[in-house]
Amino acid sequence: MQENKNSVKEEIEELRKILEEHNYNYYVLDNPTVSDFEYDSLMKRLSLLEEENPEFKNENSPTQRVGGEALSEFEKVEHTIQMQSLADVFSEGELNDFLARVKSSLEGEEPEYVVELKIDGLSVSLEYENGVFMRGSTRGDGFIGEDITQNLKTIKSIPLKLDTDIEYLEVRGEVFMPKDSFLKLNESRELEGESLFANPRNAAAGSLRQLDSKITAKRKLDIFIFNIQQIRGKEFETHKESLEFLKGLGFKISPTLNVFKDSKDIFNEINRIGEEREKLSFDIDGAVVKVNSLRQREILGSTSKVPKWAAAYKFPAEQKETILLDIALQVGRTGVITPNAVLEPVRIAGSTVSRATLHNIDNITDKDIRIGDTVVIQKAGDIIPEIVRVIKEKRTGNEKVFSMPSVCPACGEPLYREENEAAVRCLNSNCPKQQLRAIIHFASRDAMDIDGLGPAIVNQLLEDKLIEDAADLYTLKYEELINVERFADKSAKNLITAIDASRERGLDRLLFALGIRLIGSRGAKLIAQNFKSIDNVMNAEEESISEINEIGGKMANSIVHYFKDEKSQRLIEKLKSAGVKCTYDNENVGNIFEGKTFVLTGTLPNLKRNDAKKLIEENGGKVSGSVSKKTDYVVAGEEAGSKLEKATSLGVAIISEGELLNMIK
């Protein structure tokens, strides 16, 4: 028996070694050595052996990269070596000033410099003890960060075990989201009616600060290591030598790592990087120039915030001219019609752009944008295409002024624009374009939370005519799903299970899931708390709804209008018949904040803004967007701005996230 266990342990260890080698080849060297099928087969075998033999489980096994149990909060990490930022320069003149200061401080010594890519991401620390990855943390304020070890383990280019006997190693790197991963993430969020990330950096930041590492694992993050913070048992003379050592250990380092002495050569390298920028699969916002000699770095030292031996040359936002060929209309989940610019394709900031959002008719009018215009475009945050301005002097007289149509481009029903609103919308609940987005919203996380029901699946179910509305999800059968493209035995069973579990979400989640105009998750909860059942809501008068604190007249009117619609009534009846819970049970939450108004400002250490808001509201409080004399508390995080200043001037109590949580406890 023991002999059998030993052979199982040997197989597990061998599988782990093979899988990590494949990870290194694929994610670090960008040179896959096995097919996806072979890799998945090895991973399944390892997962099975670990499940059957839990005594051999290891937190650094490749199987653990999918994410673990969700955390309630991130623990603080004190950096023994400060994680400093870099001084920025924006021109050749400013760069030469930096180089002159370095040379002057070295009193005649001739320094050489390493020029690297400046990755546009989030700086993190990775710590290894005896070659094993023990802890990863954010930069924070440079002195204190947060423990995000579980999230970092999901990044497959981070080695979990090093082939070295070095007692302790701390490295610093930049986590980023590749451009293709970012675009796919935003496409998915748009279909689900969620807000879009402005750029890959914001997406990476949001992904790293997920308390649930399973979400981080889905975001396809990557990392480049750019410095050794601490090491015991080994010394280096130059920065380049230290990075080559890290590369030998399996770390992914900057693909550009060249050494120069002459200022002209340095600037030429920066220009070369700028010209190659759009060909990269990830975002950079400049180049970093560092003194190569570690001894000279010691002489140069640092200020309280930045090292004196390095500078970041920042690239300006790239702008290009192109022609506005047409303006196309997109129908959103709530019926809002969004105009999009159809452009003559142009290469900018790493990709070919042929479309850009124009937001609404007011934006088009204010900028006097006409079909046929020569326009200047750029990517907001280097990723979202937008029209900056029109070059009116290039007009020929053939340009056409755009006006919104009177009927919906998807269903032909009349369009409506409410007074004082920029949005033009289709009010037809049977509009096919709204249908897709409505079901995606219904299944989204804050609504009915049907795991596995993404945009592509919803679209496929609609195309195969297995569903027409959200209620039809509850009549889906395994026998139907197994014949749908994208489904296998397990995925079909999992979706049926997820749909079944969603029946018990309750009235507040259901009201939000219905996608009633102006009704967010907070409004849905307030209505559910007051009316207790869907029947009571459907029969409520506008006046009684608007009497609820925080529910205004427009919201009340929207609810009444929604439930008067015959299609809405049929949908509710179908949901009831399917056994979807249409009542609200009072939750066991406190009321310690009853009558208290809070304002949130800055970046909180652990809680997302929405999570903090939810916590306050669940305990009876109200969250406002502005500070006034009626504000009871301002919860302030890092980089709190004008709201904090106003709170101080008004004498409003200012508390931290920790104090907020202690008040609840």
Angstrom CA distances, 252 to 164, 226, 238, stand at: 16, 9, 18
CA dihedral angle for residue 564, residue 568, residue 570, residue 572, rounded to 10 degrees: -110
- Tell me how far the alpha carbon of residue 28 is from its chain's centroid: 23
Does residue 218 carry a catalytic annotation?
no
> 293: which residues sit within 8 A by CB, 6+ positions away?
111, 112, 237, 238, 239
| Amino acid letter, 213 | S
What is the C-alpha separation between 567 and 285, in angstroms, rounded?
50
Burial of residue 383, with CB atoms counted within 10 A of its CB: 0-12 exposed, 13-18 middle, 19 or more buried:
buried
Which tokens sit at 177?
């989201």
What is the C-alpha separation between 480 and 491, in angstroms, rounded?
12
Residue 264's CB is within 10 A of a number of other CB atoms, namely 10
| CB distance 368 to 392 below 8 Å | yes
- Three-state SS across 345-411? EEEECCEEEEEEECCCHHHHHHCCCEECCEEEEEEECCCEEEEEEECHHHCCCCCEECCCCCECCCC
- The 10 Å CB-count burial string (b at 16+, else e) for 133-146 is bebbbbbbeeeebb
What is the C-alpha separation between 124 and 148, in angstroms, rounded?
9
CA dihedral angle for residue 191, residue 194, residue 197, residue 198, rounded to 10 degrees: 90
Which tokens sit at 139?
């930069």
**Ramachandran angles phi, psi of 439, nearest 5°:** -70, -40
Residue 323, classed as helix, strand or coil, is strand
Strand-strand pairing, 222-231 and 168-176: antiparallel
Query: Tokens 């690239």, residue?
Result: 315
Burial of residue 99, with CB atoms counted within 10 A of its CB: 0-12 exposed, 13-18 middle, 19 or more buried:
buried
The per-type count for the chain, helices as H runs and strands as E runs, is 24, 24
Q: Among 118, 290, 433, 643, which one carries the catalytic annotation?
A: 118
What would the DSSP string read from start to end of 178-228? -HHHHHHHHHHHHHTTPPPPSSHHHHHHHHHT-SSHHHHHHT--EEEEEEE
Strand partners, 127: 135, 170
Angstrom CA distances, 335 to 424, 438, 457, stand at: 8, 10, 21
> 383: which residues sit within 8 A by CB, 6+ positions away?
179, 182, 198, 199, 200, 283, 349
- Residues labelled as active-site residues: 118
